[in-house]
Each structure stands twice: as structure tokens, then as C-alpha cells.
């Protein structure tokens, strides 16, 4: 199939998932055309079946707000017309679903039918999409999509609760390439971070308020009193400065490292002993799943779709949002002895395998065949 994928090219989970899906489909022989305003972060190297089309938004003195959505629709029309595209798969509803609707209408005028699949990822529904600034357009374009998918049951329920839906939503969970993440930790790297054999705690996010990164630091401060540990904070975003200054002011400053945005998560995660995700909401929590695939247990909140991937007392623990005491207690119980930690690590990997790329990508392929027919 010739498939056009539209996504955000940044470090956000929706862009990561869309890019990994495109790469996996290309490996299976499909031709994949990415349409974004920047090369997606996880898209590097040459692949004979992958094409990248950059959306440029020309500036003009009249435009206080350059019309990205219009440029995106025009690019979709151009790519469909010139590359024999069979379907458009857009990730994150705003503004991709409405831009796709517009492209579809333009193409229909020329007698070309192009099916549109919209995949909902989270904040496009729960935070931004349901705001009345956007909701009429989001509702309309979701209902007009030829197929609508959500990355978790929770996100499907949120969508049905918050929008007037006239069509079904199919749940297709996010996936991870377990083989890529399940690597042997590099001992030299581990020694560099934890020279005295301390436990290594990792958090990765875009440092938005919704992630409550401050809670990660608070959990770390509690647990390290009992279990000597080091904390690695990966990613960057609006809250980083605040969290960084908080860390600088505390006695544990030397035990906390900010590594910034990282493309090669599979090189870092295997050295971790625990992944901490304290979000107020996660539709899914792809970062946690990638950690599990690297055999890292997860301490998370029980918000949104997290209970669909984390299993309490098996591959990690879940607590109520903001319950630092409970999260610290659970973290200590996993880290306190090697045998328990090893069991949780094994379980994390077993759990991640349920979401392996090999199980999920064919589900998308089936959906594609259905909408094309
Ligand atoms: O978490 C973010 O802020 C980024 C966001 C995005 O849209 O890129 O992530 C959402 O989509 C991911 C991939 O489906 C999910 O794993 C995240 O849980 C979801 N984030 C939220 O729901 C807050």
C-alpha cells in the first residue's frame, strides 16, 4: 500500500508512535510518505520505502498566525495526487483530522476517493480538543473520518464522554519494538552514573505540567533515604527550569542528572532499575511501555490508560495522583533486594511483549485494507 502519515514531528508520544508505525510498515514493503513540518525525531537514516514531505508555511505581513492547516491540506492533496496514495493516516486530531477532511473534499471534486484514518492520542481529546475553541471542528472531523482509533480504552471512553460521537472508535493500543529495547546494559555507562552500585531511577517526558515532574523528584528524595539511588531525568519542556532549580537547591543535587532530549532511548533505558511516571493523566504512557521493554519496572499513577499497561504488584505499582508516600513505599519495595528487583524486571519485559510491534502493526494493516475496500 501507499500510505501517507501525518503527525507532529517532535518528541511527543504521538509523533514517536506514528514514526515507528511508518518505519514498521515500510519494513513490510509498504511505501510510507510522512507529511510534517519537520523531519520526525525518530526518523533518521535512509529507507528505500520512506519519503518525507515538508509542509512549509509561507509568511506574509498580513498573517499574525500563518495558516498551517491550509498548507497541510494542500500538501496532502499534492502527495496523494503525485504518489498514488491509498489512504491518509493522521495522528493527533488537531489540526490533522480537519486538514485531512479538507484534502479529502478537494480530491473528491476530481473524482478521487481517499480514505482518512484518525488516531486519537490523548491531549487532542482530554486537554485541548474538548475546549470549546476547538471542539466543534474536532467533533466534526472525527465523525467524518473513515475510521477512528484510540490508543487505549480509557481514551475511547473519554472521547465518548466528551464529544457527540456518531461513529465507532476502535481501540488499537500503542506498541513497542521489544527487540530494540531489550538490550544488555552497558556496564561502563552504568558505572559512570552509579559508581557505587546505586539503583538507577529514570523519568522521561516533555516536562509539561501534566507530567508532575516535581513529584518524581519528591519520590526520589524519599526512596533514596532507604535505597541509595541516582535519578536521570530525560526530556525537556516548560517545567524543566523550575524542576532543575528545585534540584539545585536540595542536598541530593549531585545524585540527579538532567540529560535533556534523547533520541536513542534504547541505549539509556537498559541501565535503569526503575521508571517513574507521575502524570496527572496519560492516555497510554508510551514512555513507560518503552521502559518495560527494556526490562524496567514502572512506578506510575493510576490515571487514564496507565492501568491498561502497568499491572499493580507484577511489573510495577500504581498510586493515586500526587500520593508521594505510596509511590516511594512501592519503589522501595521493588528496589530493596536484588531478587525482588529481578522478578519485577522479568515481569516488566513479559508485560511489554503483549504490546510488541509484531502484534499491533498487523491490526493497523487490517484496518487499512478495510477502509480501502
Ligand atoms: O504526553 C504528551 O504530552 C505527548 C502526547 C502526544 O500527543 O504526543 O502523548 C500522548 O500520546 C502518547 C502516544 O499515544 C501517549 O502515550 C501519551 O500517554 C499521551 N499523553 C497524554 O495523554 C498526556
Ligand 1 center from residue 17 Cα (angstroms): 10
End-to-end CA distance of the chain: 12
Just give the CATH number of 178-353.
3.40.50.2000
**Can you give the pLDDT at residue 253?**
84
CATH number for 2-175+356-372 (one of 3.40.640.10, 2.40.50.140, 3.40.50.2000, 3.20.20.70): it is 3.40.50.2000
Q: How is the beta sheet containing 256-260 ordered, strand by strand? A: 256-260, 229-234, 199-204, 274-277, 298-301, 316-319
Using alpha carbons only, what angle is made at residue 36 by residues 31 and 40, rounded to the nearest 5 degrees?
80
Ligand 1 center from residue 290 Cα (angstroms): 13
**Can you give the pLDDT at residue 313?**
97
Q: Is the CB of 206 under 6 A from ligand 1?
A: yes
Query: Whole-angstrom Cα distance, residue 81 to residue 107?
Result: 8
Q: Is the CB of 9 under 6 A from ligand 1?
A: no
CB 298 within 8 A of CB 277: yes
Spell out the per-residue pLDDT of the chain, length 373, in tens: 999 999 999 878 999 999 999 999 999 999 999 999 999 988 988 899 999 999 999 988 899 999 999 999 999 999 999 999 999 999 999 999 999 999 999 999 999 999 999 999 998 898 787 889 999 999 999 999 999 999 999 999 999 999 999 999 999 999 999 999 999 989 999 999 999 999 999 999 999 999 999 999 999 999 999 999 999 999 999 999 999 999 988 888 899 999 999 988 999 999 999 999 999 999 999 999 999 999 999 999 999 999 999 999 999 999 999 999 999 999 999 999 999 999 999 999 999 999 999 999 999 999 999 999 9
Enter the pTM of the model: 0.95
**Can you give the pLDDT at residue 46?**
87
Which three cell numbers, joined as nine digits, stand for 44? 533518521
Closest CA relative to residue 74, chosen from 43, 46, 53, 50: 53
Ligand 1 center from residue 131 Cα (angstroms): 17
SS3 state at 357:
helix
CB 297 within 8 A of CB 334: yes
Task: Tell me whether domains 2-175+356-372 and 178-353 share a fold.
Answer: yes
Ligand 1 center from residue 212 Cα (angstroms): 14
Q: Domain locations in the chain?
A: 2-175+356-372, 178-353
Q: DSSP characters for 127-140?
A: TTTTSTTTHHHHHH
**Can you give the pLDDT at residue 365?**
98
Q: DSSP characters for 194-241?
A: -TT--EEEEEES---GGG-HHHHHHHHHHHHHHS-EEEEEE---TTHH
Q: Ligand 1, closest atom to CA 305? A: 18
Considering all CA atoms of the chain, what is the largest pairwise distance in Å, rounded to the nearest integer?
A: 68
Q: Is the CB of 121 under 6 A from ligand 1?
A: yes
Query: Whole-angstrom Cα distance, residue 316 to residue 275?
Result: 9
Closest CA relative to residue 118, chosen from 176, 52, 51, 168: 168
- The distance of Cα 141 from the centroid of its chain, to the nearest Å, equals 22
Amino acid at each position: 500500500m501507499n500510505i501517507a502519515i501525518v503527525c507532529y514531528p517532535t518528541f511527543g508520544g504521538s509523533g514517536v508512535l506514528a514514526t515507528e508505525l511508518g518505519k514498521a510498515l515500510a519494513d513490510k514493503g509498504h511505501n510510507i510518505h510522512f507529511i510534517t513540518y519537520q523531519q520526525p525525531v525518530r526518523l533518521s537514516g535512509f529507507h528505500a520505502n520512506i519519503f518525507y514531505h515538508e509542509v512549509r508555511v509561507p509568511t506574509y505581513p498580513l498573517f499574525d498566525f500563518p495558516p498551517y492547516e491550509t498548507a497541510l491540506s494542500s500538501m496532502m492533496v499534492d502527495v496523494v495526487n503525485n504518489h498514488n496514495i491509498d489512504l491518509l493516516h493522521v495522528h493527533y486530531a488537531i489540526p490533522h483530522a480537519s486538514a485531512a477532511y479538507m484534502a479529502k473534499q478537494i480530491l473528491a471534486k476530481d473524482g478521487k476517493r481517499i480514505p482518512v484514518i484518525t488516531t486519537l492520542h490523548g491531549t487532542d481529546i482530554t486537554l485541548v480538543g474538548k475546549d470549546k475553541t476547538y471542539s466543534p471542528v474536532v467533533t466534526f472531523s472525527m465523525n467524518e473520518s473513515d475510521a477512528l482509533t484510540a490508543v487505549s480504552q480509557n481514551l475511547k471512553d473519554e472521547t465518548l464522554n466528551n464529544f457527540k460521537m456518531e461513529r465507532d472508535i476502535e481501540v488499537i493500543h500503542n506498541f513497542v519494538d521489544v527487540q530494540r529495547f531489550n538490550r544488555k546494559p552497558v556496564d561502563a555507562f552504568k558505572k559512570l552514573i552509579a559508581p557505587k552500585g546505586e539503583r538507577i531511577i529514570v523519568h522521561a517526558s516533555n516536562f509539561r505540567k501534566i507530567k508532575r515532574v516535581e513529584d518524581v523528584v519528591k519520590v526520589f528524595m524519599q526512596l533514596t533515604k532507604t535505597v541509595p539511588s541516582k535519578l536521570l531525568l530525560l526530556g525537556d519542556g516548560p517545567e524543566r527550569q523550575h524542576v532543575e532549580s528545585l534540584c539545585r537547591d536540595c542536598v541530593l543535587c549531585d545524585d540527579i542528572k538532567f540529560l535533556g532530549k534523547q533520541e536513542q532511548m534504547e541505549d539509556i533505558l537498559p541501565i535503569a532499575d526503575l521508571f517513574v511516571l507521575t502524570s496527572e493523566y496519560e492516555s497510554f504512557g508510551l514512555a513507560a511501555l518503552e521502559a518495560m521493554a527494556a526490562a524496567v519496572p514502572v512506578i506510575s499513577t493510576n490515571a487514564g490508560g496507565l492501568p491498561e499497561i502497568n499491572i499493580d504488584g507484577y511489573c510495577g505499582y500504581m498510586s493515586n495522583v500526587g500520593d508521594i508516600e505510596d509511590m516511594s513505599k512501592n519503589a522501595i519495595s521493588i528496589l530493596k533486594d536484588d531478587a525482588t528487583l529481578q522478578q519485577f524486571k522479568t515481569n516488566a519485559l513479559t508485560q511489554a511483549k503483549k504490546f510488541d510491534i509484531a502484534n499491533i502493526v498487523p491490526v493497523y494493516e487490517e484496518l487499512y485494507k478495510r477502509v480501502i475496500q
